[in-house]
Amino acid sequence: MLRETRELLSSIGVPDLDPALPVRQLSVAEQQIVEIAKAVSLDAKVISMDEPTAALADHEVSLLYRIVEALTARGIAILYVSHRLREVFDLCSTITVLKDGRQVGTYPAAELDERGLVRLMVGRELSAFFPDRAADAAPGEVALALEGAGNGFVDDISLEVRAGEIVGLAGLQGAGRTELLSAIFGADPFTRGSMRVGGEALRPRSPRHGVRAGLALITEDRKGQGLSLSLTVAQNALGVVRAVFPGRTAAARTELPSTLEELALVARGLDQEVQFLSGGNQQKVVLARWLAVAPRVVLMDEPTRGIDVGAKYGVYEVMRRLTSAGVAILMASSELPEVLGMSDRVLVMRDGRLVGALPPSASEEDVLALAAGAEGAEAAA
């Protein structure tokens, strides 16, 4: 069996994966390879891949590309579902666009570009994809400040985020963005340095402590950490306020329908289980969950991961409304157009440290060069 498995893995371009390893010891990418190999072993003629790169690092995405190319070379048809437009154009020969459960059309990939595809998906031009901040908007007082903060995962972090401001966190996989947000929130507390929220010294000992101080964290894993999938929309949306501020629960329950209407949630009702919602609508429930506690600082980790282009725009609109109301946002994202399109300033991380700051007018190449430590890369003065 091991010999046959090695031959099978080699046939799809992965000769180095050890077939004797327990699956639990494999990375997410390697587990996906096992699933693909299973389909090939059954002599599948069509393989469906649903958001296959959502949890993969850049080098793992390259591996998936090679596997897809190896499969199509063998005559296997691939149904590739993705919100990452670059992948669609890189891998697909034909593109079918769906919107609100209906087919908009099917087109040869060579006849479309990203601008045209976005227009088909959301009905607006790509140039208008990131909502502008209000013309009279200006950052207010410092809402979050760190000075020399660290905890073993990140080190010597000094930054400020002002009320009404979006500060982007960029960096390569493993740079420490998620770990920084987790430390600020109190999940992995800082052990050195100082932190202030709204001018008051704070070192959250736990997430509950962080929430009480005015912090909110939208995690990168909404299904595993942001939601309880078997619970209803209402139960999820009221979960944090009920647990941390029980006295506010009644008022939050009264305001919930209007909040969800503002978020344009598509659901059968407040009693629908969130596991049956689309990814974009699940993310709207996560947002409602934190809006209920009226945070001063919102920490966002990959806020639009795995949701469609239209839902992304909805999240961006919510971010703009929050900053217009004086909320400070610190957003970590691996999507550089998102970081540059939504941020007032971009902070770049490498190896658990901040290595520089860039204006939103910087290019993606500027960000990547600084994140990778390329020779000659410089931060903004």
Residue where a domain terminates, one of 64, 97, 125: 125
pLDDT for 212 equals: 95
Domain co-membership, 61 together with 156: no
Domain presence at residue 59: yes
Of 46, 53, 44, nearest in space to 33 by CA: 53
Is a pLDDT exceeding 70 seen at residue 297?
yes
DSSP 124: S
The total number of structural domains that make up the chain: 2
Query: Of 68, 59, 62, which is closest to residue 39 (Cα–Cα)?
Result: 68
Summarised one tens digit per residue, pLDDT across range 150-177 is: 999 999 999 999 999 999 999 988 899 9
Q: How far apart are CA 6 and CA 285, in angstroms?
A: 44
Q: Is residue 135 part of a domain?
A: no
* Long-range contact pairs involving 46-50 (C-beta distance under 8 Å, separation at least 24): 46/76, 46/77, 46/78, 46/79, 47/71, 47/76, 47/77, 47/78, 47/79, 48/78, 48/79, 48/81, 49/78, 49/79, 49/80, 49/81, 50/81
Query: Rg of the chain's alpha carbons, rounded to an integer?
Result: 22
Domain co-membership, 99 together with 6: yes
What pTM, to 2 d.p., does this model score? Answer: 0.75
Claim to verify: residue 37 and residue 77 sit in the same structural domain:
yes
381 lies in some domain: no
Question: If you average pLDDT over residues 79-106, what whole number do you get?
Answer: 89
Give the pLDDT confidence score for residue 117 in this predicted structure. Answer: 85
Q: Is residue 131 part of a domain?
A: no
102 has pLDDT over 90: no
> How far, in Å, are 53, 197, 294, 304, 364 from residue 338 at the CA level?
17, 26, 24, 9, 10
Q: Please tell me the distance from the alpha carbon of residue 209 to that of residue 187, in angstroms, as a whole number.
A: 10
Q: Which of 66, 95, 125 is the last residue of a domain?
A: 125
Q: Is the pLDDT of residue 381 over 50?
A: no
The reply to whether 130 falls in a domain is no
Q: What is the pLDDT of residue 11?
A: 84
HSE, CB side, 13 Å, CA atoms: give it for residue 37.
20
Pair (69, 187) in one structural domain: no
* 154 and 278 fall within a common domain: yes
**Alpha-carbon distances, residue 117 vs 79, 83, 86 (angstroms):** 18, 11, 11
Per the prediction, the chain carries an average pLDDT of 89
Residue 130 has which token pair?
């990131």
365: its two tokens: 């190449």
The predicted pLDDT at position 7 comes to 86
In a domain, 118, yes or no: yes
Query: Which domain CATH number covers 14?
Result: 3.40.50.300
Specify whether 146 is located in the same domain as 32: no
The answer to whether the CB of 297 falls within 8 A of the CB of 216 is yes
Residue scoring higher pLDDT (100 or 332): 332
Residue pair 307/286 in contact by the 8 Å Cβ criterion: no
**pLDDT at site 120:** 84
Task: Kindly tell me if the per-residue pLDDT of 56 is higher than 90.
Answer: no
The answer to whether residues 118 and 171 belong to one domain is no
In this prediction, residue 30 has a pLDDT band, given cuts at 50, 70 and 90, of: confident
110 CB burial (10 A radius; 0-12, 13-18, 19+): exposed
| Contact assessment for residue 274 and residue 232, using Cβ atoms and an 8 Å cutoff | yes
Confidence band for 135, pLDDT divided at 50, 70 and 90: low
Do 151 and 121 belong to one domain? no
Q: Which of 257, 309, 252 is nearest to 279 (CA)?
A: 309
Q: Is residue 134 part of a domain?
A: no
User: Three-class SS of residue 129?
Assistant: coil
pLDDT grade for 139, boundaries at 50, 70 and 90: confident
Query: Averaging pLDDT over each range in 30-34, 75-79, 82-86, 335-339, which range is the top one?
Result: 75-79
pLDDT confidence of residue 124: 58
Q: Are residues 22 and 92 in the same domain?
A: yes
Instruction: Look up residue 361 and give its DSSP letter.
Output: T
CA atoms of 281 and 162, how far apart (whole Å): 29
Q: Per residue, what are the HEC states of 150-161?
A: ECCCCCCEEEEE
Q: How far is CA 166 from CA 1, 47, 156, 204, 236, in A?
A: 54, 40, 21, 22, 26
Residue 136: the pLDDT is: 66
Based on the domain organization, do 356 and 298 belong to the same domain? Answer: yes
In this structure, is residue 137 part of a structural domain?
Answer: no
Residue 313: strand, helix, or coil? helix
Between CA 52 and CA 36 the distance in angstroms is 11
For the ranges 57-61, 101-105, 173-177, 364-368, the lowest mean pLDDT is seen at 57-61
Show the domain range for 322.
142-372
My answer on whether 99 and 160 are in the same domain is: no
Does the pLDDT of residue 256 top 50, yes or no?
yes
Tell me the C-alpha distance between 112 and 116, whole Å. Answer: 6
Shared domain for 160 and 303, answered yes or no, is yes
Region 215-239 average pLDDT: 93
Position 243 pLDDT exceeds 50: yes
Lowest mean pLDDT among 174-188, 250-264, 362-376: 362-376
